[in-house]
Amino acid sequence: MQDIRSLNEMIRHESQFIDAILDEMKKVVVGQQQMVERLLIGMLTGGHVLLEGVPGLAKTLTCKTLSRTLSLNFQRIQFTPDLLPADILGTMIYNPRDQTFSVKRGPIFANLILADEINRAPAKVQSALLEAMQEHQITIGDTTFHLDEPFLVLATQNPIEQEGTYPLPEAQVDRFMLMVKVGYPTRAEELQILTNVTSGYEPEIRALVDGPRLLQARKVVQDILIDDKLKQYIVDIVFATRDPRKHGLADLAEFIQFGASPRASIFLTQAAKAHAFLRHRAFVIPEDIKAIGLDVLRHRVILTYQAEAEQLTSDDVVQRIFDRVPVP
């Protein structure tokens, strides 16, 4: 009991900067609390985040504002159809005077990468990020460069316009820990947005956390307790996406073509711990898992044509699984 109390006190102390960051974000970003929290979960776990929403919902603004609260090297890459892998990673430059090649590093060599409209670029450009996202390293020519920690990719994409876009390959989208659906603001929030933007006032954002402090927070998040029963619950959820019949979900079997991989179990556990950290708790509760579950699983459950014919989305299927798998 004493150890739990000590851990709780440590978590409360270590997570104080979260409230300060949220306060700074509110100076610029109105509403969108869920999106902001999901970005923070990505920062606290090292998991990449994909934001999907129509234009004008402050996806890019939120990522840029978050970067201003962190003393980290930030780069924004605008993805376009004519982009080449070398434009992101870098390339070998020939020096005719010395008759030697030297490496010109690309914008990927930063702590925080904003890949804006990532589905605008061809698959070969999207795939150029795979090694960086998974291994935190880049290979140019015959030389491998390790990226500085922390390293995180935040990407945005527009779901409604398909002309001139390239859907992310499955191997690429699975590298993202979270896929966050960004919705419209409320009427009151939109009125506040209108007032803020038309006033001409630009608030000053303070840098609150540096790289070493963020890496320390990641270690603290790993120490958050999760009961073995909740680990079993997470595995039950993931296995239910693979074999619904064995988990009393026979009516969903015809709608799921491929279930989630073990990466989903790992990310769901890590994200639940980070969600508890945001709530200043030293332990995970079922609500943490449910709160983050859709964002972890929606892009990992591949539906059949039958599901599309009945206008079912992956969100619908995953939500049914969470509703019907017993909570310990």
The pLDDT-based confidence of 39 (bands split at 50, 70, 90) is very high
If asked whether residues 24 and 79 sit together in one domain, one would say yes
What is the domain-level CATH number for residue 82? 3.40.50.300
42 and 165 in a common domain:
yes
Domain assignment present for residue 218? The answer is no
Highest mean pLDDT among 197-201, 289-293, 298-302 belongs to 289-293
DSSP helix/strand/coil, 203: coil
2 pLDDT band, cuts 50/70/90, is very low
Q: What is the pLDDT of residue 289?
A: 95
pTM of the model: 0.89
| 36 has a pLDDT exceeding 80 | yes
In a shared domain, residues 160 and 298: no
Residue 83 DSSP SS3: coil
Residues 49 and 270: beta-carbon distance below 8 Å: no
Mean pLDDT across the chain: 87
Band (164; pLDDT cuts 50, 70, 90) = low
**Domain termination residue (choose one: 177, 195, 213):** 195
Q: 115 has which bridge partners?
A: 77, 155
The tens digit of pLDDT for each residue in 261-278 reads: 899 999 999 999 999 999
Residue-number span of the structural domain to which 252 is assigned? 224-324
16 and 161 in a single domain? The answer is: yes
Q: Is residue 13 part of a domain?
A: yes
Spatial distance between the Cα atoms of 228 and 235, rounded to a whole number of angstroms: 11
pLDDT at residue 159 tops 80 = no
**Which residues make beta-bridge pairs with 91?**
104
With a CB cutoff of 8 Å and minimum separation 6, the contacts of 187 are: none
Does pLDDT of 24 surpass 80?
yes
Looking at the structure, do residues 156 and 231 belong to the same domain, yes or no?
A: no
Based on the domain organization, do 185 and 228 belong to the same domain? no
Position 10 in a domain: yes
**What kind and span of H or E run contains 60?**
helix 59-68
Gap between the Cα atoms of 10 and 215, Å rounded:
16
Quickly list DSSP for 234-283.
HHHHHHHHH-GGGGT-GGGGGGEEE---HHHHHHHHHHHHHHHHHTT-SB
Both 54 and 178 in one domain: the answer is: yes
55 and 95 fall within a common domain: yes
Domain co-membership, 177 together with 242: no
Residues 151, 42 share a domain: yes
- Does residue 311 come out as left (phi exceeding 0), alpha (psi in the -120 to 50 range) or beta? left
Long-range (24+ apart) CB contacts under 8 A made by 213-217 are 213/17, 214/43, 214/44, 214/70, 214/72, 214/150, 215/149, 215/150, 216/14, 217/14, 217/15, 217/17, 217/44, 217/277
Q: Total structural domains in the chain?
A: 2
